[in-house]
């Protein structure tokens, strides 16, 4: 029975992981054509409001559904499962209305605090999403709790595809018909509403059950449900959207700091748009760096269900090593290639230094998210509340001052500093429950050597192809050459440096191909 439950959990978690990764990749890639169509100013307008959308999607996509699925799964009777779903829907819909009202009525004040009164209509437009998010969160959570992962996975993908298609179409149509950039931004956020409606279509059968269900409020369940939602549920939401929260702080402080520093309104908005390019690289980098370790997280679920403590510790250690290994590769790969990537994707090298510094966030964010997943899997989620608060407070306290004196480089440093301190504090949380990342000095030294080898090889490629830097196509060619060559040297040096055993390679997605390609001596 244990094996059956564990395999079921493993399969379901894997399905959701794959769907989430594909969705995140799509969500990162569309920013490139969108920025190319609307320019830095249009990108600035969109990114100022994006955190409000991002928080809504975190709530409806990964945050509350994870917690709600736990509540539904632990109920043994079908009637009680539906009763819980009704209570959850009522609570979340009430708070959805409150947030909608706050955003819609307070749109002018929020726009003023962001330093741009022309953002009012965009804020009002995205506020409607908070009326749909409760429906999505409960529907997804209920299905996941019933071990029906396919509707959630498909709804995620369809939602992203619909949203992205509308954004690109609006940008194409708007720019060709002379629309203002604010009008384009306002219509672009309609894509999020339509995407959410498309996602809801996958849960029609769920809503039919809820409508037919005889509502008999059990007030004894409401208080514990409220406590759970706004403790564990919110913590899951905030950690899943930690980078979005940092973006939200940027939306309220970065442009203002640039203006106080002496930049004109136009230049400040342009620089904010340039700085926001980093979000594309950060999201893609974080997806790549965490994809391999995330694919192994379901194993921890299986170990927990089977109460296999030894396997849990072994897999935890392996997952951390893979996370650091991938994070280092992606971070330093993006940094060394950044001028070429920036020009190839966004037509200029402007802001490359600030964007490169931002890439260091990938290492810290990957580890923090993994720490939180481990704490969640052991039901110790409260241990990381202080970490979350510290990250937000440090970013808030330093962002304005750093930007004032260092420009967008300061904003990047503020994010890196807050996440670095958060990583240190997160390790303290693990130690409180007797866990650690267990990264040996030998492993750290070897991974640094592998990173140096990769960076050196890519640097040589960039120097040899230096003449190509003058054109956008040339920069793209540099990236096409640099990425695979750098990857080969990094993986090769990892293999020959014995960072992972043959058995560990086989547990890593694609690891068996590495074993075939890079033959080596037997592990000592």
Is 40:175 a contact under the CB 8 Å cutoff? no
Indicate whether 171 and 269 sit together in one domain: no
Indicate whether 254 and 224 sit together in one domain: no
Residue 509 covered by a domain: no
CB atoms within 10 A of CB 434: 8
Tokens of 517: 């390609």
Indicate whether 220 and 261 sit together in one domain: no
Indicate whether 198 and 233 sit together in one domain: yes
- Longest pairwise C-alpha distance within the chain: 73
Is 469:340 a contact under the CB 8 Å cutoff? yes
Q: How far is CA 326 from CA 76, 78, 240, 285, 300, in A?
A: 41, 43, 19, 9, 19
Q: Is the pLDDT of residue 296 over 80?
A: no
Task: Tell me the average pLDDT across 502-516.
Answer: 77
pLDDT attached to residue 394: 96
Please say which residue of 208, 240, 272 terminates a domain.
Answer: 240
pLDDT attached to residue 294: 63
Q: Which residue has the higher pLDDT, 316 or 169?
A: 169
Is 354:408 a contact under the CB 8 Å cutoff? yes
Indicate whether 28 and 172 sit together in one domain: yes
Split into its structural domains, the chain has a count of 2
Please say which residue of 414, 441, 468 terminates a domain.
Answer: 441
Domain boundaries, position 96: 1-240
* Band (130; pLDDT cuts 50, 70, 90): very high
Residue 434 covered by a domain: yes
Indicate whether 193 and 330 sit together in one domain: no
Indicate whether 44 and 157 sit together in one domain: yes
Indicate whether 235 and 251 sit together in one domain: no
Q: Which residue has the higher pLDDT, 376 or 219?
A: 376
For the whole model, what pTM was predicted? 0.89
Residue 153 covered by a domain: yes
Indicate whether 303 and 248 sit together in one domain: yes
pLDDT attached to residue 4: 47
* Band (25; pLDDT cuts 50, 70, 90): confident
Residue 226 covered by a domain: yes
Residue 88 covered by a domain: yes
Residue 476 covered by a domain: no
DSSP state of 266: H
Please say which residue of 417, 441, 465 terminates a domain.
Answer: 441
Give residue-wise pLDDT tens across range 197-218.
999 999 888 888 877 766 665 6
Residue 151 covered by a domain: yes
Task: Tell me the average pLDDT across 445-466.
Answer: 93
Is 399:418 a contact under the CB 8 Å cutoff? no
Range with the poorest average pLDDT among 161-170, 233-242, 473-482: 233-242
Indicate whether 332 and 277 sit together in one domain: yes
Indicate whether 113 and 16 sit together in one domain: yes
DSSP for 458-494, please give it. HHHHHHHTGGGGGSHHHHHHHHHHHHHHHHHHHHHHH
Indicate whether 231 and 348 sit together in one domain: no
Residue 456 covered by a domain: no
pLDDT attached to residue 37: 94
């Amino acid at each position: 029975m244990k094996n059956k439950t564990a395999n079921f959990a493993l399969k379901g978690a894997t399905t959701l992981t794959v769907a989430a990764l594909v969705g995140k990749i799509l969500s990162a890639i569309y920013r490139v054509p969108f920025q190319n169509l609307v320019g830095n100013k249009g990108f600035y307008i969109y990114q100022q409001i994006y955190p409000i959308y991002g928080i809504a999607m975190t709530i409806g996509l990964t945050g509350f559904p994870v917690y709600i699925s736990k509540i539904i799964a632990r109920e043994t009777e079908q009637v009680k499962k539906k009763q819980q779903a009704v209570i959850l829907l009522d609570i979340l819909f009430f708070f959805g209305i409150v947030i909608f009202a706050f955003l819609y009525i307070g749109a002018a004040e929020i726009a003023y605090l962001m330093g741009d009164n022309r953002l009012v209509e965009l804020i009002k437009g995205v506020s409607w999403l908070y009326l749909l998010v409760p429906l999505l969160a409960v529907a997804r959570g209920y299905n996941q709790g019933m071990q029906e992962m396919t509707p959630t996975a498909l709804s995620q993908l369809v939602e992203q595809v619909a949203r992205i298609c509308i954004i690109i179409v609006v940008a194409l149509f708007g720019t060709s018909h002379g629309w203002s950039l604010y009008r384009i931004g306002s219509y672009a956020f309609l894509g999020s509403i339509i995407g959410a409606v498309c996602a809801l279509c996958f849960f029609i059968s769920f809503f039919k059950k809820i409508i037919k269900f005889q509502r008999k409020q059990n007030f004894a369940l409401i208080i514990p449900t409220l406590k759970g939602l706004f403790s564990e549920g919110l913590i899951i939401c905030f950690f899943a959207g930690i980078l979005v929260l940092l973006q939200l702080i940027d939306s309220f402080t970065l442009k203002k700091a640039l203006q106080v520093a002496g930049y004109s309104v136009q230049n400040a908005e342009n620089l904010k748009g340039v700085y926001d390019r980093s979000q594309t690289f950060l999201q893609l980098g974080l997806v790549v760096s965490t994809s391999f370790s995330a694919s192994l997280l379901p194993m921890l679920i299986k170990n927990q269900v089977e109460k296999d403590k030894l396997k849990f510790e072994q897999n935890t250690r392996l997952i951390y090593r893979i996370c650091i290994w991938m994070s280092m590769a992606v971070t330093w790969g993006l940094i060394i290639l950044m001028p070429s990537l920036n020009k190839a994707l966004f037509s200029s090298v402007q802001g490359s230094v600030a964007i490169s510094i931002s890439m260091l966030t990938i290492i810290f964010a990957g580890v923090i998210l993994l720490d939180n997943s481990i704490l969640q899997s052991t039901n110790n989620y409260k241990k990381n509340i202080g970490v979350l608060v510290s990250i937000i407070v440090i970013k808030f306290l330093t962002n304005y001052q750093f930007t004032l004196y260092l420009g967008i480089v300061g904003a990047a440093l503020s994010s890196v500093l807050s996440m670095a301190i958060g990583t240190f504090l997160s390790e303290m949380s693990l130690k409180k429950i007797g866990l650690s990342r267990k990264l040996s000095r030998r492993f750290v030294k070897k991974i640094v050597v592998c990173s140096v080898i990769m960076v050196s090889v890519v640097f040589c490629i960039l120097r040899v192809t230096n003449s190509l830097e003058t054109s956008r196509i040339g920069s793209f060619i540099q990236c096409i050459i640099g990425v695979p060559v750098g990857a080969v040297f990094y993986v090769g040096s990892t293999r020959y440096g014995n960072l992972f055993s043959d058995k560990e390679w086989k547990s890593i997605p694609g690891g068996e191909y590495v074993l075939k390609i890079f033959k080596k001596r037997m592990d000592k």
